[in-house]
Amino acid sequence: MGIRAGVVGTGLVVISLLSAGCSDQSPTVDPQDGTITDPSDGNEVPSLPPPGSIPDAGTPPPDEDGGTPDAGETPDAGTPPDPDAGTGETPDAGPWPTDAVLDYTRAFGVDKPQSVGLDEGLNLWILDGRRIGVLRPGDKQPTWTSNVGQAAEPFGPDALATGATVICGGEAGRAYVGYSADEMKRAEGIEQRTYIPWHGEAGYSAERFAEYKKGDLDAVRLQPDGTVRLEEHLWRTTGASNAGREAGIHNTNDFHYEEDRTVLNCARVTRGRDRGDLYITTNHGVTRIQGLIYNSHRHPGWYLYEDGSEWGSLQCPYMHGLGIGQNGDVLVANEQMVGVLVPSPKLEDWDREQTWEGPTPWSFKSYNDALNGQTTDDYWRAFEQVRSGRYYLGSAQYGVWALTPKNRSTGSWSKLAGLPSNRILSLKATDDGALYIGTDGAGLWRLEADGTTLAQVKDVSGQRVLQLVYEPTVTPSMLLVLTNQGLTVLRGP
């Protein structure tokens, strides 16, 4: 089998709560690898049922229009794919070897990084702590650059970041690097812990203002000699109140609220109408990015009403799960809730929360009632949709679960049997209908398109599968498998 062998109140109340921020239920999750160090489930309470729970006929495929406009040419940006009118399909194999299985750590000296990504020019980007590597087509080994952007100084609680988390490719020659930062504490005289007064406003302090600069996301550029420079620490957004404020990623609807501080996952749209768009998940939600402009954020939250209060506390824990559906929908999962968002063509529409309506509605938003109650963490780490249309979610504690929505707020859940481990770190659906499953301790597994045949991919070394990246724009396609032993690339799934 080739590589398979071895194998709420009123709308006004909601707006107020969204501006004020959410309660975080996951302060003890390692943002770099999702390791749970001190899980806490909390107390079970009744939850408010979502409104408008009616059957959903599904989302029509987006129009194909050539993708996102290019933000500019860069010298030596790598070999871009052949022109394809935005379909993402190319007739050639691209610049990389077509071996069914190839260990890039041994073949190209990629080492054992923490995250990898491919840009539109098929440059391979590598993240290893405070250094960024680039393996360009034709290179025999990566070129490394250290101390760029948020990594310009040693990581720590008083630095620009506490650590680097993920890397994703963008347009040819550009990549995005995510970082982590500690949660903010409330300042004296400030009710909300994520609220930061601007210069000249009541309560302003230089120390608190510095929090704007921490964590978030860098855009970096490839140089002709293979090194990397900082292009920009992202700050440009669509919200009118944010105009001209170079303060990193913060709430688009009100810049005072600094809620997205730690980037946990990232995914580039590789084909279709929105090709080139980037999504990142954070300690708070999912943010959409086009070039150097972002719009934050959306989260499948729910309201917790305590002590008979009519004012609910919006729950939106850390969000690790992120995928792009077969028709371009955005799949997200935080520790308790999962959701499917239908993106509008317009970036400015992204944060317009109207639940089931509006320009960017949820087509599904719920939780796994077959596993836990709504207040109990499910520790979702990955969310994918296979060619058949079925959804799969991977949990760091509870294995892989298949989801078939019944309507917009309920679904049928079933656990996948046959895996030797319940600790899942990554999933990836491929064009042949299969689902690749990355475990924490039992290596890489492949679920065939029939949904039942399951086998280990023994040709990939490493027992801890940290990341799976799929590149379908070349033929045969590329599946990057990053484990604790390094990077292996599979061609053709």
For residue 9, pLDDT over 60 is answered with: no
Candidates 58, 56, 134, 136; CA nearest to 94 is 136
> CA angle, corner 320, sides to 14 and 386, nearest 5?
105
Quick: pLDDT tens for 371-407: 999 999 999 999 999 999 999 999 999 999 999 999 9
- At residue 82, the pLDDT reads 44
For residue 168, pLDDT over 90 is answered with: yes
Q: Which long-range contacts (CB under 8 A, 24 or more apart) does 421-424 make?
A: 422/395, 422/397, 422/398, 423/396, 423/397, 424/381, 424/382, 424/394, 424/395, 424/396, 424/399, 424/400
Residues 6+ apart with CB under 8 A from 164: 32, 114, 115, 127, 129, 130, 150, 151, 155, 177, 178, 179, 180
Q: Which residue has the tokens 């943010």?
A: 287
Phi, psi dihedrals of residue 128, rounded to the nearest 5°? -145, 85
For residue 60, pLDDT over 60 is answered with: no
Quick: pLDDT tens for 329-363: 999 999 999 999 999 999 999 999 999 999 999 99
Q: How many CB atoms lie within 10 A of CB 272?
A: 20
Burial of 1 (0-12, 13-18, 19+ CB in 10 A): exposed
- At residue 43, the pLDDT reads 27
Residues 6+ apart with CB under 8 A from 207: none
CA distances from 170 to 69, 107, 123, 220 (A): 12, 25, 10, 10
pTM for this prediction = 0.84
Highest mean pLDDT among 52-61, 131-140, 293-302: 131-140
The answer to whether 413 and 407 have CB atoms below 8 angstroms apart is: no
According to DSSP H, which parts of 292-359 are helical? none
Candidates 159, 155, 135, 130; CA nearest to 145 is 130
- Reading the block at residue 10, the tokens are 């009123």
Distance of CA 483 to the CA centre of its chain: 18
Q: What is the mean pLDDT of residues 201-218?
A: 95
Binning pLDDT at 50, 70 and 90, where does residue 61 land?
Answer: very low
CA gap 252, 4 in Å, rounded: 45
Q: Is the pLDDT higher at 63 or at 87?
A: 87
For residue 11, pLDDT over 80 is answered with: no
CA gap 196, 219 in Å, rounded: 24
